[in-house]
Structure 1
């Protein structure tokens, strides 16, 4: 029996790894819908059908009935969301409503990627940036819509994902990739002050392990997928061993986040990769990812 699976954001960092894993199962038919805002054709993997377009147009672009929809295709940067608020609204608010309407029409199970910023700084993180607020309020909409229209859903939360295909350059680059590029170029590691903000860095393969488990067996909210190990940004820089340059503080930069993984662990998930091992591997291979 074939499972028809739609992954929004399937040409992005996490989405491409999820597509790759799902496509390894011959019983899965995997389709990606991506607007290529941060996704790339270089992230395409064998066995996946790629459609270019906005999630707001999902009903026009998707001509089959999925069994599962992994909705990863939203705007996902904190500090940059102040400058990109129009994109944040379009990708995160218009998109989620269209996806939910499509789920209602097709009875597909929705696996929605929320944001762990919702749990930051004792719950205050949910309103600290346009990105954080749209993601937190989207989880509430998914919960309510699911109850109103009997839509099966599960909400997952990622914690600071790193690994192969991470965005390394430009305003949407992420920390581990940025530090890797700077070490290769013998440049200082730039850290937004105060540097004591803590993050739970989680390898993308651990994220995908959790996503597949939740997709198959999880229902409801609070399926966190995150490493229990936390590091300050300064501690991460020390693992890399580079020179450090401090930058001014920026809006929306939470200090902590609670890692909520009990429900995911109850499905049998646990993280298997460690950040220190990953950085050691990069060093041993002269910073080649």
Structure 2
């Protein structure tokens, strides 16, 4: 019998890469459930079955029992979450409850995408935005369902993923993709003050390597998947070159994050990519 896998948020940046890799594993059947708030049909990969809908409706939308559920389909922007708080609640709180109840019913192992904001600024980051708080408290609920109802789970934490299929424009654009787009157009790079806030930019291939290892062999919490290299946003902007314009400070903008990768490394994971090399290759391509 084949292995049935459901990826929520499978049409998004990280989810589409995960679906692609899962599809290539022998005997795996892969489904995606996505509401397309940030996902795109342009991210669809062949051999994956795509369903449109909200994770809070998972029990009505999924008519089979998955062996694994990779739950990536939640609202995932810090600064914007202050404006979108109702959407954050529907996606992150109503969604996780429905997914956990579905796992409890079907026996699926849950691999939950937590947020590294939980570890930001010495632990204070967990309450700095509606997004951060919902994600941090969701990890506690996942752990409790494991204790209360025997739901098998593993919780991962991604650190600033970058690579192909990033969102390059609009409200939900990610930093590296936004900088690339502005650099292509010869526009100035905008950096939110103070600019010294540090991030651990991690290539999408390294992220997916880690997710798959945790899905197969990880149980419990604190499976961080992040590059050990940290750079300030200003340092990243300077790597791209060109003019830089500072923007006012914004709420929820953490300054640091503790990268906790020990448990993931114990499974055999190692990051293989560097953001410095990635930016250099991109800039070199503009000059050819």
Output the CA distance in 2 between the equivalents of 1:36 and 1:10.
Answer: 9
| Structure 1 residue aligned with 2:92 | 92
| Structure 1 residue aligned with 2:234 | 234
Q: Closer, same or farther in 2 for the Cα pair 1:287/1:14, shift >3 Å?
A: farther
What is the alpha-carbon root mean square deviation over aligned residues? Answer: 1.0
Map of 1:1-289 to 2, 5 A cutoff? 1-286=1-286
Question: How much does 1:287 deviate?
Answer: 8.6
* Conserved 8 A contact 1:180-1:287: no
Output the CA distance in 2 between the equivalents of 1:188 and 1:83.
Answer: 26
Output the CA distance in 1 between the equivalents of 2:148 and 2:8.
Answer: 23
Residue-pair matches, total: 288
| TM-score between the two structures when normalised by the length of structure 2 | 0.99
Structure 1 stretches of at least 4 aligned residues deviating more than 3 Å after TM superposition:
none
Output the CA distance in 2 between the equivalents of 1:132 and 1:140.
Answer: 13
Output the CA distance in 2 between the equivalents of 1:287 and 1:143.
Answer: 50
Q: Closer, same or farther in 2 for the Cα pair 1:166/1:287, shift >3 Å?
A: farther
Question: How much does 1:242 deviate?
Answer: 1.8
Question: How much does 1:280 deviate?
Answer: 1.5
Question: How much does 1:7 deviate?
Answer: 0.1
SS at match of 2:286: coil
Output the CA distance in 2 between the equivalents of 1:25 and 1:220.
Answer: 24
Output the CA distance in 1 between the equivalents of 2:70 and 2:168.
Answer: 24
Output the CA distance in 1 between the equivalents of 2:262 and 2:172.
Answer: 30
Output the CA distance in 2 between the equivalents of 1:110 and 1:268.
Answer: 20
Question: How much does 1:49 deviate?
Answer: 0.2
Output the CA distance in 1 between the equivalents of 2:36 and 2:109.
Answer: 24
The answer for unaligned runs of 5 or more in structure 2 is none
